[in-house]
Amino acid sequence: MAKWLDNAIFYEIYPQSFMDSNADGIGDFQGIISKLDYIRELGCNALWINPCFKSPFGDAGYDVEDYYTIAPRYGTNEDAKQLFEEVHKRGMHILFDLVPGHTSVEHEWFKESMKPERNEYSDRYIWTDNVWEAPENMGSLRGISDRDGSCALNFFSSQPALNYGYYKITRPWQMSPEDEGPRATLEEMKNVMRFWLTMGCDGFRVDMAGSLVKQDEEGKGTIALWQKVRKFLDEEFPQAALVSEWGEPDKALQGGFHMDFLLHFGPSHYNDLFRCEHPYFNKEGKGDISAFVEKYIENYKKSEKKGLICIPSGNHDMDRLARTLDEDEMKIAFAFLLSMPGAPFIYYGDEIGMRHVENLISVEGGYNRTGARSPMQWDGGVNAGFSTASKDKLYIKQDESKDRPTVENQQADEKSLYHEIRKLIAIRQNHKALQSKGEITFVYAEKESYPFAYVRSAEEEKILVVLNPSDREVKFDCDLNPSEVIYSFGGEAKAVDGKVCAPACSVSFLKV
């Protein structure tokens, strides 16, 4: 069991935008290595690196060309090995992003599968029997080779879907997960995991983990598939961590994942918090937390109150937090993120309030997401310290505002978002009740109402968290008697005569 996840705080790195060490305008592994001390000083003790394998980069590396080779623009496999070693020297852990659902059309497996003659890769992907039939409810590639059939796609046309079988078979060309082709696909993905874990990787964040077995409405086939992976890992790499992008924690945990991501799409109401017309964490006070909490409780109960539901500050697929929240609002949002169960994930640059860069032309399949993937802003130097390449060579255009936040100016300001996050991380790490496995009980989360309050508990420790992002003082009935304030921002909540009063735009963590 990956015990290190119990107090893990992840920092997500989009490698091409983090730090460029060789002046080509693209971030790389040596750049990441040079900034590990910065990440550790922030308080993060784990990394998630977005896809870094060889790729034609039609989808920013989520279109893998070779799972066994680091993309040359990031360095070499030796650089990856060095990164693992440097991470471990600092008492940190690292997850690679695994994309098991599809490859690039440039992958050798796919090129072999296109051949009309039967070979070991013919069933590595989902192909229909004839070119006129497309897979149901999926896009397809057809007319691309002499093989008669259409190949199923996962979203972009450059990403043919790997074949793990169908749970419900309705057509002759559909295979069971137990057929030879799907079993071979799974074995090869286990080989990929084995390769990087042996080199020193600590586990994987798994892209779209719940989508592998097709026509599997209840997820039973996909759960069974991941249980096989769990068995393999328990036998060979018991400390390896698996974090899923699934969005259904009960299914992910049944499948053997340690934690599941709360997705920004689907039924989670995650976007009600930060990214909607009236975000709950906006001081205008017009948001609604109740649907989020209702869904969270449902998932929390289904996952046997393990609470292993990861809530990210953002990621490469969403608008930056700063697009909808100002700095004080982000401080309150991070007080929430860093006091909830499960491992928190901080998207690079969110700790300094990096802005969403508007009106960019799509880069590598980013489209509207491109503005959240701009290069990290380190200091007041050339290209904000990200790269010494000329500006026109940068992977994505940077925020060019004169007042753009940088690590340098945030570190110099004791009242900055950066320092508030450091403080919150230190408090989380000093209190077991606030860490991944501490239980949660919601105290106040009423419809279209403020504040938001919950109790975190572990062993004898109980901490009441009171969050009031709104610009007005609010009260709620509460029979708890707080004894000590262990953290506050914007004023301290007070308990008087069975009510708790929370000042405007404030956070309080109170021992009870």
Are the C-beta atoms of residues 509 and 464 closer than 8 Å to each other? yes
* List of domains in the chain: 3-102+182-428 (3.20.20.80), 103-163 (3.90.400.10), 440-511 (2.60.40.1180)
Query: Distance (Å, rounded) from C-alpha 373 to C-alpha 363?
Result: 9
* Cis peptide, bond prior to residue 405, ω within 30 of zero: no
386: helix, coil or strand?
coil
Contacts of 182 (CB under 8 A, 6+ apart): 123, 163, 164, 165, 175, 176
As averages over each run of 10 residues, the pLDDT of the chain (512 residues) reads: 92 98 98 98 98 98 98 98 98 98 98 98 98 94 97 96 98 98 98 98 97 97 98 96 93 94 84 96 97 94 82 96 98 98 97 98 97 98 98 97 97 98 98 96 97 97 98 95 94 93 98 95
| pTM score | 0.97
Cβ atoms within 10 A of the Cβ of 7, count? 16
Sign of CA dihedral 391, 395, 400, 405: negative
Cβ atoms within 10 A of the Cβ of 307, count? 20
Q: Which residue blocks in 154-208 are alpha helix, DSSP H?
A: 180-199
Residue with tokens 């935008």: 17
Are the C-beta atoms of residues 444 and 478 closer than 8 Å to each other? yes
Tokens matching residue 203: 């586990």
E strands, 355-444, are: 439-444
DSSP β-ladder status, 259-261 and 241-244? parallel
The pLDDT value recorded for residue 306 is: 77
The pLDDT value recorded for residue 228 is: 98
Strand partners for 205: 97, 243
Query: Distance (Å, rounded) from C-alpha 109 to C-alpha 105?
Result: 9
Tokens matching residue 92: 């940190």
Residue with tokens 């753009």: 404
DSSP state of 312: B
The half-sphere exposure of 93 on its side-chain side, counting CA atoms within 13 A, is 20
The pLDDT value recorded for residue 262 is: 81
Burial 275-299 (b: 16+ CB within 10 A, else e): beeebbbbbebebbbbebbebbeeb
- Amino acid identity of residue 311, one-letter, is I
Nearest to 310 by CA among 346, 281, 275: 346
Largest CA distance in the chain: 80
Are the C-beta atoms of residues 398 and 405 closer than 8 Å to each other? no
The pLDDT value recorded for residue 316 is: 97
DSSP state of 109: H
E strands, 187-325, are: 203-206, 241-244, 259-261, 309-310
Torsion angle of C-alpha atoms 197, 226, 135, 188, degrees rounded to 10:
30
- Amino acid identity of residue 315, one-letter, is N
Nearest to 153 by CA among 166, 170, 134, 169: 134
The pLDDT value recorded for residue 12 is: 98
Residue with tokens 């030796």: 78
Q: Which residue blocks in 237-289 are alpha helix, DSSP H?
A: 249-254, 271-274
